[in-house]
Amino acid sequence: MAKIICVLYDDPVDGYPTSYARDGIPEILKYPDGQTAPTPKAMDFKPGELLGSVSGELGLRKFLEAEGHTLVVTSDKDGENSTLDQELFDAEIVISQPFWPAYMTAERFARAPKLKLIITAGIGSDHTDLQAAMEHGVTVAEVTYSNSNSVAEHVAMMILGLVRNYIPSYDWVIKEGWNIADCVARSYDVEGMHVGTVAAGRIGLRVLRLMKPFGLHLHYLDRHRLPEAIEQELNLTYHDNLKSLTEACDIVTLNCPLHPQTEHMVNAETLKHFKRGAYLINTARGKLCDRDAIVSALESGQLAGYAGDVWFPQPAPRNHPWRTMPHHGMTPHISGTSLSAQTRYAAGTREILECYFSGQPIRQEYLIVEGGKLAGVGAHSYSPGNATGGSEEAARFKK
């Protein structure tokens, strides 16, 4: 029987919900490209419940314990003697979410000789040292597409929020003001602007489709060029390098995976090629950007605004400069963990576990590493190597 460690974020400060704002969520059976939503044999939760926090347990306990397995659920993942580190020695499976990631470093692989499977409940497996996973023969899987549209909606919200100066205007209401001039001094229309996505996969392409009705000019950069029919449908301009994209766009949104080739792709040098007063949206991974370069660009006016919900490490230390830099619209990493998304990625996590325990193949679209090499969607989206360096700073959040 297997031991499974599930690392999840803490419950709400007022306790686990006893009721919800809505009575349910729409049922999603297929995604826009035809991929089916997760299809586990059963689900021990009601769609729309809070599943991503500790008490939610991704709805897995009944299923796993009925099969004789041991489930350890914790939010304690960082620093010396964390619960995660204490439990790793005999763990066969580690599950975590990108929003509160269990950073599976080479050191943790060395302390987990029985480890066979790492699952990301959601999308994005950069918090695992993929090179170490390949070397140790550990399978890495994620619930691809489960929360892609959730993230894309968050991007659209943040674009409008930054350009229309929504958050400072809301703040004037809270302060009992009616300061219209203060509100509109940094407010513009998005109509007629040029917006570009770095990567036009499931999230990036969805963002472009969502923004098209606003009358923007659409651009994209991707190592895999889109079919000509899609380019014509959306009137897309293709760019084969970051400099070309950023020189053309008023709004840039990052929607690519983090791996060694994309780490710190937005830095002091590349920011020089952005239009002055451009807006940058990052709901992909915080480490795509150089932290201090973003702060400097906002302070100098090179960037008019920066919004996103991804940081590095996660959780971000309490003194992280992105909490206090000017003209930002940051949130904790929530874009992909709406209650709607949680239903799908919890169901997908169970589907992966059902396949693993029954000896059935895991869907190719869920695989990142298998058999000592990048596999499935991982071979399409990632490069060999490790992007977890510096993740030990997540322990500073506690202090």
Respond yes or no: is residue 219 known to be catalytic.
Answer: no
Catalytic residue from among 154, 202, 206, 285: 285
Contact 155, 309 (CB under 8 A): no
Looking at 108, 259, 327, 333, which residue is catalytic? 333
Select which of 314, 320, 327, 363 is catalytic: 314
Which contacts (CB < 8 Å, 24+ apart) does range 192-195 have?
192/216, 192/217, 193/163, 193/217, 193/250, 193/251, 194/218, 194/219, 194/248, 194/249, 194/250, 194/251, 195/159, 195/219, 195/249, 195/250, 195/251, 195/252, 195/253
| Exposure class string for 42-76: b at 16+ Cβ within 10 A, else e | ebbbebbbbbbbbebbbbbbebbeeeebebebbbb
Told to judge if 333 belongs to the known catalytic residues of this protein, a careful annotator would answer: yes
Alpha-carbon gap, residue 390 to 313, rounded angstroms:
7
Catalytic annotation, pick one of 147, 149, 165, 255: 147
For the chain, what is the total number of helices (H) and then of strands (E)? Answer: 14, 13
Q: In this structure, how many other beta carbons lie within 10 angstroms of the beta carbon of residue 192?
A: 11
Annotation says 147 is catalytic? yes
Q: Catalytic site residue 81? A: no
Residue 218 half-sphere exposure toward CB, CA atoms < 13 A: 21
| Residues that are catalytic | 147, 285, 314, 333
